[in-house]
Amino acid sequence: MKIGHIFNIMVGSPGDVTHIAKRAIECINNWNILNSYDKSIALVPHHWTSSSYPSLRKPAQAHIDDILVERSDALVAIFGSRLGTPTNNYISGTVEEIEKHRAAEKPVMVFFSETLDFSQDVEQLKNLQEYRNQLSGLYETYNGIDDFEKKFSAKLHLQIQNEFQPLVSESVSNSKGQETISFSEEEVSIMKHWCDGKVNQLSQIYFMGGTCLFRFGTVGINAESPKEVAQLEDFINRLYSCGFIDLIGYDKHSHPKYKLNLKAYNTFSEAHSDNMNQK
């Protein structure tokens, strides 16, 4: 069995193609439905309209950079008839997102619309064309939302195959001599109480400052630091890798949702309090 990996995909776009960005998120979620189990990969889409929150501590784009750009593993940038609103350091917010991903050597896919709305600001159209002409690398074009969906779905699959699949470890296997996944006494206790309860779903509520409330059914655990959040996320990844929980979708904030399966009930309802190894 492969270790499950979660990759954060940022969708960047000026305001005139927000509807295209939403379709990109749908494509990413559809990929998960069709491929996550077999590939041991889950993609979490993020767009500033759904994955950011109001804050006056920094300029808007700097805030988006902190909570989305820095944490994402790849970017898909979509342009229609506007380049976007200038920021303090770049000709537009979407361009800033592109350049910061490129500087961090993260994968970037850029899509330009072949159908332009000439009722848009002339300066925006001019800036967009100039940026497209000077952009180095390979980009894609689309002609309408349906054409975008068809092309993006195909390109997304190729990107995952070439950029993400090689990163997925093969260390968890049922074969003899392969690495095992361990659970601590505390983690086994969590699973026993979760399996004994009446709620089989796992929920996660993230708060500002890096804290998070994890609910394993009716068992609530408050992670009060980024390190504790990472430890519990690692626990969840190990449960998923061992086949104890199933991915059932994503919440409105694009966080993955899981539920217990029969293997978990059969294993943890009879588990002892000593450490358990799942081969």
HEC assignment per residue over the chain: CCCCEEEEEEEECCHHHHHHHHHHHHHHHHHHHHHHHHHCEEEEEECHHHHCCCCCCCCHHHHHHHHHHCCCCEEEEEECCCCCCCCCCCCCHHHHHHHHHHHCCCCEEEEEECCCCCCCCHHHHHHHHHHHHHCCCCCEEECCHHHHHHHHHHHHHHHHHHHHHHHCCCCECCCCCCECEEECHHHHHHHHHHHHCCCCEEEEEECCCCCEEEEECCEEEEECCHHHHHHHHHHHHHHHHCCCEEEEEECCCCCEEEEECHHHHHHHCCCCCCCEEEC
pLDDT at residue number 180: 63
pTM for this one? 0.61
Residues in the chain with pLDDT < 70?
1-4, 169-180, 208-210, 270-279
pLDDT at residue number 225: 82
pLDDT at residue number 128: 96
What six digits make up the tokens of 15? Answer: 């305001």
What are the domain boundaries of the chain? 5-167, 181-271
Side-chain-side CA neighbours of 221 within 13 Å: the count stands at 23
| Strand partners of residue 221 | 214
CB contact burial 80-93 (16+ within 10 A = b; e otherwise): bbbbbeebeebbbb
Q: Please state the CATH superfamily assignment of the domain spanning residues 5-167 in this structure.
A: Toll/interleukin-1 receptor homology (TIR) domain (3.40.50.10140)
Report the alpha-carbon distance of residue 4 to residue 45 in Å, rounded.
Answer: 17
Dump pLDDT digits (tens) for 20-76.
Answer: 999 999 999 999 988 888 788 899 999 988 877 888 888 888 888 887 888 899 999
Distance, CA of 130 to chain centre: 31
pLDDT at residue number 270: 55
Compute φ and ψ for 173, nearest 5 degrees: -150, 155
Compute φ and ψ for 218, nearest 5 degrees: -100, 0
CB 3 within 8 A of CB 67: no
- For strands 245-250 and 256-260, give the pairing: antiparallel
pLDDT at residue number 77: 97
Report the alpha-carbon distance of residue 171 to residue 173 in Å, rounded.
Answer: 6
CATH architecture for segment(s) 181-271: Orthogonal Bundle (1.10)
CB 234 within 8 A of CB 227: no
pLDDT at residue number 131: 96
